[in-house]
């Protein structure tokens, strides 16, 4: 599974999944904290669709962390004040980069969580559709 997809599932899904993965790695491997979870601001870049030009929408609060497992560095960045999740994501990132054996069994759990998230999004969209209003105009 690609890093981006895995990270999206871990951020949007049940936070216990990230905690479980990171705890498993911490139990079996020495994890060195390079940058403790800390908060900061980052600019959000958007693309204006008509002219295809980039502009900065504004700043968002993020929490970031960085760890090292062996010779591999992992980074965790998440929107909001979520120190534990940022630290867990950094450990998971380093473990995946290092190709640790524990990561092999994660795909099935990540895919199951992705299915659960897709169902949740479908239910939310269905609830929103019920409130949708359609305006008709009368023209001459």
Over the stretch 87-126, which tens digit does the pLDDT of each residue have? Answer: 999 999 999 999 999 998 899 999 999 999 999 999 989 8
**10 is a domain residue:** yes
Q: Is the confidence at residue 140, as pLDDT, over 70?
A: no
* pLDDT score for 40: 94
**140 is a domain residue:** no
Q: Please name the residue that has the structure tokens 């534990």.
A: 84
**116 is a domain residue:** no
Count structural domains, the chain: 1
List the Cα angle 85/39/98 in 5-degree steps. Answer: 45
List the Cα angle 93/63/76 in 5-degree steps. Answer: 5
15-30: average pLDDT: 94
Expressed as residue numbers, the domain containing 99 is 3-111
Phi and psi (nearest 5°) for 42? -135, 150
Residue 37's pLDDT band (cuts 50, 70, 90): very high
**136 is a domain residue:** no
Residue 136's pLDDT band (cuts 50, 70, 90): confident
**87 is a domain residue:** yes
Residue among 106, 123, 116 nearest 7 (CA): 106
* pLDDT score for 52: 84
* pLDDT score for 56: 87
Phi and psi (nearest 5°) for 135? -105, 130
Q: Are strands 53-69 and 32-48 parallel, antiparallel or unpaired?
A: antiparallel
**138 is a domain residue:** no
**64 is a domain residue:** yes
* pLDDT score for 20: 94
**pLDDT per residue as tens digits for the range 48-88:** 888 888 888 899 999 999 999 999 999 999 999 999 999 99
1-22: average pLDDT: 92
First to last CA, the chain: 57
**59 is a domain residue:** yes
Radius of gyration of the chain measured on its C-alpha atoms: 20
């Amino acid at each position: 599974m690609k890093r981006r997809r895995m990270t999206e599932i871990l951020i949007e899904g049940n936070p216990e999944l990230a905690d479980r993965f990171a705890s498993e790695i911490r139990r079996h491997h020495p994890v060195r904290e390079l940058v403790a979870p800390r908060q900061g601001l980052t600019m959000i870049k958007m693309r204006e669709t008509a002219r295809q030009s980039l502009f900065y929408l504004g700043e968002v609060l993020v929490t970031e962390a960085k760890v090292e497992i062996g010779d591999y560095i992992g980074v965790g960045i998440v929107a909001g004040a979520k120190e534990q999740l940022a630290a867990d994501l950094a450990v998971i990132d380093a473990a995946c980069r290092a190709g640790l054996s524990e990561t092999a069994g994660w795909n099935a759990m990540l895919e199951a969580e992705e299915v659960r998230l897709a169902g949740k999004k479908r239910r939310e969209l269905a609830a929103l559709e019920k409130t949708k209003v359609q305006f008709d105009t009368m023209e001459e």
